[in-house]
Amino acid sequence: MTIYFDRSALHPNGAKALNEEAEAIALLFESKPLQPSPPPAFETQREIGPTITEEDIIGEPIMSWTDLKGRAVGRYFVRDGQEVALRNGNYLQFRKLVEKVAGKKPFNLGLSLEFLEEQTFLWLQAARLGSNDQSLCDHLLDRCEAAVSLHDMAVPIASIEVERAFKLGNIRISPFDVRRLERWKTKLLQKNDADLEALSAIEERFQSLRKQLAGSTLIEVSILGEKKFVEAEAIRIADEAASVLRFLSPAAIISNLAFPCHPLGSEHRPLKTILHLAEGEIAGLTTGLRQQGLHHWGLQFADLSEKMNAGLRNIAAFFSDRHLTDHEQRVKSALLSYSRGVASYDPNERLIYAMFALEHLLLKDGSEPIQQNVGERIAFLIEQDPKRRKAVVSNFKKAYQLRSRYVHHLNSVENEEALQEFYKNIFVLLYTAIADMKIHSNHGAFLDHIDNKKFS
């Protein structure tokens, strides 16, 4: 059996400090009679799903109070009609302990804060009840060792279909094969062959899944860690892969075309629903898309190969285990920012993301003048002809003025011709930066290379 979690990496002095702090926090629990939930401000007309009862709960639940964003602001358990809780300042001390745990080897790799918080609270609960037979660190080491393993994950991407599978660094991008779904369904049907109600539910569920997944693209990756960490990491990697796919799409250079290519379920296609009324009653209904976009794009393998051979092969470095140089990280961040704008239906938002990308890639620091330096560095990197360089600088200034009018005066972006040229220039800039990424040892060398062209 392969062991993926190195429990010996925890330094004894670090463990001693964490154990002592945990023992002190275990004394901070406060008890008060369990309070019923307050009634709602008014009776909702929403369709409410099934109610969870005590019979539905397996094991003892850990409960929490949350803010409007769903973040925990306190945790408690119930014992003998009492609410035994860490709240306010005591909860903050508990969170600081969890953050200290997360910053130490071996807890700093492959483990989510949520997992560490739950496991630490379980230990504190046992300490409060006097049922601990381990120190906090021994408890965490056991739980982490059992939870950490190598997971193969696949995240479906919406709005794009690839002709065939290909590798990009450590990830595999492949067309979704509905036969995988059928094989999974067959296994579930065999397990539930005596339960007619379950069989019907499985068939219905898989019909829905087939509609959702057929024609989608999978981002496949192997990740080491516990389940919650792995799921979050898989989504993060899929988000970045979707950004690359948006950059490869026609929408990357078309100023008024959005491409909502995201992990399935997070793509955004604005819809409209309008009720037509007659004498106060519903007489009709209009539904449909609010805005058009590139809602499905097929990436041919020959087209992909051409782009990769022309210089985009270096994108694979963004999905490798190798540590990126500061310049490679800048190029990656600029690409992700620009591509985020490609997914937006809002032309103002798209322009803002494009400007973020340029400033991040082409400025040494915040003290450099943006209009002069950014425009000239674009021009000298992507053009050789002096007249074309002047045109690029002029175009950048027009785009920057549009950005300023929106940011400072909320004026809408209205100059499609200028923006069309602007996005083509940025695309060529990013393409060139990716193709030449390995030439420059650091980001300063990249900027010096451009400036040397200006003054040579």
Sequence letter at residue 316: A
Tokens 């739950």 belong to residue: 118
Per-residue pLDDT of the chain (456 residues; tens, 9 = 90+): 678 899 999 999 999 999 999 999 999 999 999 877 778 888 877 777 665 555 555 556 778 888 888 888 899 999 988 999 999 999 999 999 999 999 999 999 999 999 999 999 999 999 999 998 999 999 999 999 999 999 999 999 999 999 999 999 999 999 999 999 999 988 988 887 767 788 888 889 999 999 999 999 999 999 999 999 999 999 999 999 999 999 999 999 999 999 999 999 988 888 899 999 999 999 999 999 888 889 999 999 999 999 888 889 999 999 999 999 999 999 999 999 999 999 999 888 999 999 999 999 999 887 788 878 999 999 999 999 999 999 999 999 999 888 887 775 555 666 788 999 999 999 999 999 999 999 999 999 999 999 998 877
Distance (Å, whole) CA 136 – CA 19? 6
Do 314 and 439 form a contact (C-beta atoms < 8 A)? no
What DSSP string describes 168-210? ETTEEEEE--HHHHHHHHHHHHHHTTT-HHHHHHHHHHHHHHH
How crowded is residue 372: how many other Cβ atoms within 10 Å of its Cβ? 12
CB atoms within 10 A of CB 331: 26
Cis peptide before 106, with omega less than 30 degrees from 0?
yes
Contacts for 72 with CB less than 8 Å, ≥ 6 apart = 64, 65, 66, 91, 117
Q: What's residue 53's pLDDT?
A: 55
Q: Residue-wise over 279-301: b if at least 16 C-beta within 10 A, else e?
A: eeeeeeeeeeeeeebbeebebee
Bridge-partner residues for 286, per DSSP?
A: 274
**Inter-residue contact 252 to 160 (CB < 8 Å):** no
Instruction: Kindly state the tokens that stand for 166.
Output: 């290909």
Residue 46 has a pLDDT of 76
- In 3D space, the residue among 436, 422, 434 whose CA is nearest the CA of residue 252 turns out to be 422
Residues in the chain: 456
The whole-number pLDDT of residue 56 equals 53
CB neighbour list of residue 31: distance below 8 Å, 6 or more residues apart:
82, 83, 84, 85
